[in-house]
Structure 1
């Protein structure tokens, strides 16, 4: 296939996806360099633990805010900041790779603002559901609820395309079914936390938001409401 002289044969990543990825990688690099004593001095060895204590989402703190109807900013920001702190390099690497892959596919259709909204709102919703459904003192951290929101948006795009082709739209949900199945299997075999609840909530949020955020989506919804 011939390409125009000034056009790259590889589609560039959406800038908003690159920005999110760089934030995750930058924070993880800081933790790694600090743990090796290359920056920050002796106290840098504990940067990851301190960041998890300060920025991870805590169900106990969420319960306290609900009961007392007090919402200090230092704790409210946890609904977002938890997505940028990971337990180790492997955790961050998997989240980053999935963010790049899913963000590219979604960002090529959605606007930058919509792509960012899917990631952030899905992550926030995942944390809220995690805090409401579970009585779990373990913190929630990592980008996966937001990434699963992008999976939800990608599933919406695939679901819409299959519908236009007259194919079985249930096939669009094979990815999320496989991923959740793997998570549950690993949880049964090796034990683990219940983060999958936040992931599923993130996926559902990303899928639902796509009805409004996909180009022309809001206009189609308004037109359908007027017809009804």
Structure 2
């Protein structure tokens, strides 16, 4: 009877890898604090500007990157923006969608590739997305939000599907159906409103996640070493 009672009220986070829960708590904690501040529940009148302040202090700026590149001086506080910008969002809805995707895809990546590989994909895809955004575009719009990192997890998911379909003789192009659908939705949405160039960072994050999975997916590194030795 006691076991049934404990199972009935088991926390849904028990099924989540620890690293995914930690990322969730950081992202959700920041967003809930900012949302509460904008609602006047914490921080007083000046708290309304907290979100804008975080974007300015921890968001990623292509202009700042260009300035560092031109001067040849890589200020640590600005380099940190490559890692911090995914944890800042423009609104509650903006954060909610990113968090839901991170939970679903992060759980899959952590369970199949391992927790450290999942964090590696998340962080490096965010860095890669921001780097391409800064190098390809001359866009003054600041980059914030976990979407490039989440798209990196989609890249990891697509890699796993691509490898599985290849092993079973399936059509490997089907592995890219999710990213094709998401990019298609971006295109349709752009017909009705201005979506900006954030999709460049997001797609770049996907590409980073896919190719980094050659190192992160179980057995891939050993397979690469084996092929190198055969040569």
What TM-score, normalized by structure 1, do the two folds share? 0.94
Partner of 1:204: 207
Higher share in helix: 2
Partner of 2:106: 103
Q: Distance in 2 between matches of 1:213 and 1:95?
A: 22
Moved runs in structure 1, 4+ residues, more than 6 A? 7-11
When residues 221 and 186 of structure 1 are mapped into structure 2, their CA distance, relative to the original with a 3 A threshold, is same
Q: Distance in 2 between matches of 1:213 and 1:167?
A: 22
Q: Distance in 1 between matches of 2:143 and 2:172?
A: 32
When residues 198 and 14 of structure 1 are mapped into structure 2, their CA distance, relative to the original with a 3 A threshold, is same
- What displacement does 1:206 show? 0.5
Structure 2, unpaired ranges of 5+:
1-6
- What displacement does 1:188 show? 2.5
Partner of 2:160: 157
Structure 1, unpaired ranges of 5+:
none
Partner of 1:30: 33
Q: Distance in 2 between matches of 1:68 and 1:187?
A: 36
Partner of 1:63: 66
Residues 130-149 of structure 1 mapped to structure 2, 5 A cutoff: 130-149=133-152
Q: Distance in 2 between matches of 1:164 and 1:11?
A: 32
Q: 1:85 aligns with which of 85, 88, 98?
A: 88
Q: 1:173 aligns with which of 162, 173, 176?
A: 176
Asked if structure 1 preserves the Cα contact closer than 8 Å seen for 2:13 and 2:21, the reply is no
Q: Distance in 2 between matches of 1:123 and 1:203?
A: 9
1:221 matched to 2:224 = yes
Q: Deviations over 1:91-127 (max 9, x none)?
A: 0000000001111111111111110000000000000
What TM-score, normalized by structure 2, do the two folds share? 0.93
Q: 1:120 aligns with which of 123, 134, 154?
A: 123
Q: Distance in 2 between matches of 1:216 and 1:169?
A: 19
Partner of 2:4: none
When residues 33 and 121 of structure 1 are mapped into structure 2, their CA distance, relative to the original with a 3 A threshold, is same
Paired residue secondary structure (2:21): helix
